[in-house]
Chain A
Amino acid sequence: MTALAARLGGELRRVPIWVIWALGLLPLAWLIVRAGAGGLGVDPVKALEHQLGKLGLQFLLLGLAITPLRRLGLNLIRFRRAVGLIAFTYVLLHVAVWVFLDLQLRWSEIAADLTKRPYIILGMMGLTMLIPLAATSNDLSVRKMGAQRWRVLHRLTYGAALAGILHYVWLVKGWPAEPFIYLAVFGGLMALRFLGPRR
């Protein structure tokens, strides 16, 4: 723990983790307020589903930005697990909206999607990769696994983020910019991580 604590530091060390959760769930609160007030437009189910999915990707990318940022001198590593868990929360809610409100428990169609549609399969792969990460994003797991093995497992984040972004790219019609912006940000973060200066 002292080794970990020594690596923390930076000006943000006194910010408690719950503040990150509160900030991270603000977009959810805003979505719920808009949904209640009829502010999600003509097709609120799609709006909610898409917004939750994009928030999941945004927090995954935020989590992936933490290591490159540390090389630039900004140490946010203490918040990384919370950011990842917030991303997982949004992804779970995104899938829940798909199952309950979009496909409405029509299991035969859900099963067909899960087996036949590459973009759904990719999305589900992303979710599946996130499950062990979410399950081990706590002090006890880090202690039990040991930091080295924990870090190796958590490299799955790259795969989960890439699967989620490709799920989005594959879903759209035509050539809209937005999913490709996510892909570019992911590529940029990977380049910084693997090609940038080592600490």
Chain B
Amino acid sequence: MRLTWSDVTPKALFMSRRQWMTGAASIAALAAASRAAQAAVEDVPNSFEDITRYNNFYEFGYDKEDPYRNAGQLTIDPWAVVIDGLVEQPGTYDLADVLAGQPTEERIYRLRCVEGWSMVIPWLGFELGHLLRRVGVQPAAKFVAFETLLRPAEMPGQRTGLLDWPYREGLRIDEAMHPLTILASGLYGEELPRQNGAPLRLVVPWKYGFKSIKSIVRITLTEEMPPTTWNMMQPREYGFYANVNPKVDHPRWSQASERRIGAGFFAPRIPTQMFNGYAEEVADLYAGMDLRVNY
């Protein structure tokens, strides 16, 4: 069965989102007008074009536009997600089952890439915690591991040695259950485009973008910290936590500031915020931890 957004979203919410969109458009116009006058950068959502034509999704190639060019061939229906490990109801869930009954919300999040650029993205999604509670988390579970689809026939990047496929990511269980952590299946009120990780991706707004794994086919609850792709490749550069932190440099470049994508040649650089500006919500998760060690 093919679901559309009106199937999985209450009508009222769907309509209010439309209203929000027009509101956002006028806010964006206002902000664009005032931006010339003041240096401050406002958190205005990036255009649909920015968000869908500038992606790191190495399964479809290395260049930022490769996913836009190459992701069209990916089959996302049917789609199943294996949920296993330390859960009460392990199994292979059809995408419709995963989405069923989840209260879909619009979440407008900043996204900060480890490469030093950022965007603001209006996701549609639901809290990962809701799904995990539905399948039942066993008390022994300490971590959640995620895996991206492995399908070289449709993912040309996987036919190269660019990364160790399939792409893997992970969260600590309290990070996974945090209300800011969502599984997104939509963007700008529409179905998630393939280059953005359709049909189901993780979004963890206080961590560097590479943590927010795309096109998820497996969610495994574990007792041990799971291996994660970038960390496996260059552990000194990419930690398991990968929290946005202007004070901890990437070994090869500074993380003190970022360039907000989409504002042209003369867009001002902006200071990077601790936890990408979500410190109030998430700093407690890391109380007592040395974030220089656990980068």
Q: Which residues of A contact B (CB under 8 A)?
A: 35, 41-46, 48, 101-104, 106, 109, 112-113, 116-119, 170-171, 173-178
A44 touches B264 (CB 8 A): yes
- A171→B237 CA distance, assembly (Å): 12
21 A–B contacts from the bound complex (CB under 8 Å): A41-B65, A42-B50, A42-B64, A43-B64, A43-B117, A43-B261, A44-B264, A44-B265, A45-B259, A48-B265, A101-B265, A104-B269, A106-B257, A109-B257, A174-B62, A174-B162, A174-B233, A175-B160, A175-B163, A176-B62, A176-B162
B8 at the interface (CB under 8 A from A): no
- A161→B259 CA distance, assembly (Å): 29
A45 touches B265 (CB 8 A): yes
A104 touches B268 (CB 8 A): yes
A45 CB contacts on chain B under 8 angstroms: 259, 265, 267
| Shortest beta-carbon distance from A134 to chain B in Å | 27
Q: Please count how many residues in chain B sit with their CB below 8 Å of the partner chain's CB atoms.
A: 30
Q: Which residues of B contact A (CB under 8 A)?
A: 49-50, 53-54, 58, 62, 64-65, 115, 117, 160-163, 233, 249, 252-254, 256-257, 259, 261-262, 264-269
Q: Find the residue from A43, A119, A171, A177 having the highest chain B CB count within 10 A.
A: A43
B252 CB contacts on chain A under 8 angstroms: 117-119, 170-171
A174 touches B58 (CB 8 A): yes
B267 CB contacts on chain A under 8 angstroms: 45
A41-B65, A43-B117 given as contacts; is B266 within 8 A of A101 (CB)?
yes
A101-B266, A117-B252 given as contacts; is B49 within 8 A of A42 (CB)?
yes
B64 CB contacts on chain A under 8 angstroms: 41-43
Q: Which single residue of chain A is at the shortest CB-CB distance from B234?
A: A173
- A118→B265 CA distance, assembly (Å): 27
A42 touches B53 (CB 8 A): yes
B54 touches A173 (CB 8 A): no
A117 touches B62 (CB 8 A): no
| Shortest beta-carbon distance from A132 to chain B in Å | 28
A113 touches B257 (CB 8 A): no
Q: Which single residue of chain A is at the shortest CB-CB distance from B62?
A: A176
Q: Other CB < 8 Å A-B pairs besides A41-B65, A117-B253, 19 of them?
A: A35-B265, A41-B64, A43-B261, A44-B264, A44-B265, A45-B265, A48-B265, A101-B266, A104-B268, A106-B269, A109-B256, A113-B254, A117-B252, A170-B252, A174-B62, A174-B162, A175-B160, A176-B162, A178-B62
A101-B265, A118-B252, A175-B162 given as contacts; is B53 within 8 A of A41 (CB)?
yes
A109 touches B65 (CB 8 A): no
| Shortest beta-carbon distance from A98 to chain B in Å | 12
Q: Which single residue of chain B is at the shortest CB-CB distance from A97?
A: B265
- A43→B258 CA distance, assembly (Å): 13
B58 CB contacts on chain A under 8 angstroms: 174
- A108→B217 CA distance, assembly (Å): 44
- A41→B49 CA distance, assembly (Å): 10
- A164→B65 CA distance, assembly (Å): 25
| Shortest beta-carbon distance from A43 to chain B in Å | 5
B265 CB contacts on chain A under 8 angstroms: 35, 44-45, 48, 101
- A116→B253 CA distance, assembly (Å): 8
User: Which 5 A-B residue pairs are closest in the complex by CB-CB distance?
Assistant: A42-B54, A176-B62, A42-B50, A174-B162, A104-B269
A176 CB contacts on chain B under 8 angstroms: 62, 162
| Shortest beta-carbon distance from A102 to chain B in Å | 7
A175 CB contacts on chain B under 8 angstroms: 160-163
- Other-chain contact of A43, B54, B249, B253 (Cβ < 8 Å): B54
